[in-house]
Each structure stands twice: as C-alpha cells, then as structure tokens.
Amino acid sequence: MIDRIKQEKFFWDLPLPAALFNDKGQLMYTNMNWNKSICAIENYSLTGEKLLIENDYGEIIERVLKGEITLRTNPIFCSKSNSLLAGNFTGKYIIFNVYPIYDKSDYIICCIIEEFSDPLDTEFHQVESNIHAINSFEIFKMIENERKRIACELHDEIIQKLLLAKLELDMVQKNSGYDSDKLDEVKVKILETSKDIRSLIQALHPVILEEEGLPKAIELLVSKYNLNSSAVVNLDVFGEYINTDKNIDLNIFRIIQESLLNIKKHASAKVINVQLHFNENVIIGSVQDDGKGFNEKQKRSSHCYGITGMKERVKSLNGDLSIETEPGKGTKLIFHIPISKNYYGKN
C-alpha cells in the first residue's frame, strides 16, 4: 500500500505533463502538469489523437497498447485544428513518449509530453541530435574505460605495495628494538591509506554494479552516503530489475552518484529521496532534496558542469532529464531512459 502511494505521488509530481491510459488507449488518470498544460478533454484516447495518426504513428501506437514496444516521436507541430490536446501546446512542437508500465501480470500505458523548444528545421535537429548522442556515448565509454584501468592499477600495484610495506614493518618490529608505538602509528597510517584507496577504486569503478546489478549498487551508494553525511537519504525501488545493457546501468549509477555529490556540496539538505522505477521498456529515476535550491537560469551560466554532465549522459542514451528547482524550495531531478530494443523515435 505504501509503495502504491509513493508511485502515485511520483507520477503526480512529474515536471512534465503525464497521463495514464488503459490498453485500449482510453484516458484514465492525469497528473498536475497535464491538467495545467492541456485543455480538459472528455473521452480522450491515444488512438484518436490526430497528431499521432497524421504523422504515421497510428500502427506503432497499436503495438504500444499491446505492450510490445515503446514510442518516442519526432517533434510534431501542434495546432488547434490538428490536435485534441490544444491548451498551452498550441502553436508549438511537442514530443510524445509513450510506453507500457508493468505491474505483475498487468500493465497500463504512460504518456509523457515534452515541449520541443527549437521548431526550426526539425529534420536537421534530429540528425544533429543523433550524432551528438553517438559522440557523447563514445566519450563516456572512453572515460569509464579509463576509470576502470586506473582502478585496476591502483588495486594491483599501489594497494599491494602498501600491504607489502606493512608486512615488512611487522617483521622489523618483531626482530628489532625500534620504538613499537611509532611503528604501530606508521602501520595504522598505511592501513588508513589503503582504505582510502579502496574507496577511490570503488568510486572509479563500482565492481558491485557488474556483480550484483544496479539496485544493489545504488543501495550501497546510498548506505555510504548516509554514513558520511548529516543528511538522510531514502531509497525506493519499484518494479522488477532486468539486467540491462551495462552502459545503461553504469550511466544511471553515475547520474545518481553525481546528484548526491552536488547535493552534498551545494544544497545543505536534510532529507534526500531517491527513486528508481523499472519496467520492461523504460527506467525512470528521481533524486529530490529539501535543500537550498537554486535559480536555474543563473546556474546554467556558471558552475553547471555536474548538471551538464548528467544531461549529456541521459541524452547519449536517448533519454530525457529535467530539473525542477527554486531558491529555498529544494531541487528535484527526474530522468527516464528507454531500455527496449524495440524503441521507436531516435533511430
């Protein structure tokens, strides 16, 4: 019951317009931003949406409703005459994200709508976006490979040398008349340095991610954060985790890791809530804190490398990331990443 309430609150608080439909495409439930952005519609259905039909997504929507695939459309122009949505989207380009959300043996359809802010030359933008995603993906892959190499070298060389030095000190202490207390101090420093390096190795290359999967890796990340911070981090995981592409898992881990690091450095938060929602086609995640928040426009012009890096990671996986924040009102970061091989949209 508690999990159900949390999931409904998560859906209600999404910063983008979102709605739930049954497997016939009929509207069941809308969130706050859908109600704000879109005119009230009675008997609205995905199968009757002119924007999808006129742009050749009719058959694809039918497959989505059967739970077979996920859809992310190209930017589509919305006018009063060609869409039932109207409202704040009239005269703008929008993107539909439509996918099944599974609950045990049943499923419902979620539709999230995002505004496309650059309506000029959408075809060029699509090509440019795909190239950018490929380049970003390769860059992050190179970075992670380098991190893995450094972690291996630290483990195989530096850690082993430190342990060997401790063993040699044990022998010296046993066979000589050196000040035992001084040697004990040196050995403690060696062990502390080894511990610090092991933590660095884990940060560079989280082995638990490969061995036990994303939920366990995030659980350990949150546990360590709680030990080393005055803030309390709550973790909720919904749905069944499926062992996805390792690059997806690694990038989601890095996004949450970077979010927690940013909060620790800048937010002065007391409570942090981390959520992961798994289903067959999409992973949705959020990190929310009750800290200082910030003016997003000002933040974009300075000290935004952490946020930019997270957005680039999500974009490289054909996903979306949004940030909702105000000074004094905390920050909420939400991302959704497609994991289905049958994913239509950014080909």
- pLDDT tens figures, 171-213: 766 766 666 676 777 777 777 776 666 666 565 667 788 788 8
Give the span between the Cα atoms of 234 and 254, in whole angstroms: 18
Helix-then-strand count for the chain, H and E: 12, 12
78 against 232, higher pLDDT:
232
Residue 238 carries which DSSP code? E
Q: Does the pLDDT of residue 303 top 50, yes or no? A: no
Q: Does the pLDDT of residue 132 top 50, yes or no? A: no
Burial class (CB in 10 A: 0-12, 13-18, 19+), 105: exposed
- Of the candidates 139, 155, 147, the one whose C-alpha atom is nearest the C-alpha of residue 204 is 147
Residue at 198: amino acid letter: R
pLDDT given at position 215: 93
The mean pLDDT of 202-226, rounded to a whole number, is 83
Q: Where are the domains of the chain?
A: 2-120, 134-204, 214-344
Identify the residue whose tokens are 């049943």: 106
Give the span between the Cα atoms of 132 and 321, in whole angstroms: 16
Per-residue confidence band for 343, with pLDDT thresholds at 50, 70 and 90: very low
The mean pLDDT of 49-74, rounded to a whole number, is 87
pLDDT given at position 205: 65
Round the average pLDDT of the chain to a whole number and report it: 76
pLDDT given at position 236: 93
The mean pLDDT of 142-147, rounded to a whole number, is 58
Give the span between the Cα atoms of 169 and 153, in whole angstroms: 24
Per-residue confidence band for 272, with pLDDT thresholds at 50, 70 and 90: very high
Give the span between the Cα atoms of 318 and 345, in whole angstroms: 9
Q: Which of 8-17, 136-145, 190-199, 241-250 has the highest mean pLDDT?
A: 241-250
Range with the poorest average pLDDT among 111-115, 142-146, 256-260: 142-146
The mean pLDDT of 224-229, rounded to a whole number, is 88
Q: Which of 15-24, 156-165, 188-197, 309-318 has the highest mean pLDDT?
A: 15-24
Per-residue confidence band for 150, with pLDDT thresholds at 50, 70 and 90: low
Identify the residue whose tokens are 């942090």: 272
178 against 91, higher pLDDT:
91
pLDDT given at position 308: 75
Contact, 72 vs 338, CB < 8 A?
yes
Token pair of 301 as six digits: 């012009």
Per-residue confidence band for 260, with pLDDT thresholds at 50, 70 and 90: very high
pLDDT given at position 287: 95
Identify the residue whose tokens are 């939920």: 215
The alpha carbon dihedral of 63, 64, 67, 71 has a sign of positive
Residue at 248: amino acid letter: I
Q: Give 203's Cβ-side CA count (13 Å radius).
A: 12
Fold of 2-120: Beta-Lactamase (3.30.450)
Other beta carbons within 10 Å of 273: 17
Q: Does the pLDDT of residue 263 top 70, yes or no? A: yes
Give the span between the Cα atoms of 20 and 197, in whole angstroms: 47
pLDDT given at position 122: 46
H-only helix segments in the chain? 2-12, 32-37, 50-54, 58-65, 122-153, 160-175, 180-204, 207-212, 214-227, 246-262, 296-301, 305-316
The strand pairing partners of 233, in sequence order, are 272
Q: Which of 77-86, 103-112, 239-248, 284-293 has the highest mean pLDDT?
A: 284-293
pTM for the full predicted model: 0.55
pLDDT given at position 201: 59
Can you state the percent helix, strand and coil of the chain, rounding each to 5? Answer: 50, 20, 25
Other beta carbons within 10 Å of 255: 23
Query: For residue 151, what are the CA distances in angstroms to 196, 197, 247?
Result: 13, 9, 18
CATH of 214-344, picked from 3.40.50.2300, 3.90.1150.10, 2.40.50.140, 3.30.565.10, is 3.30.565.10
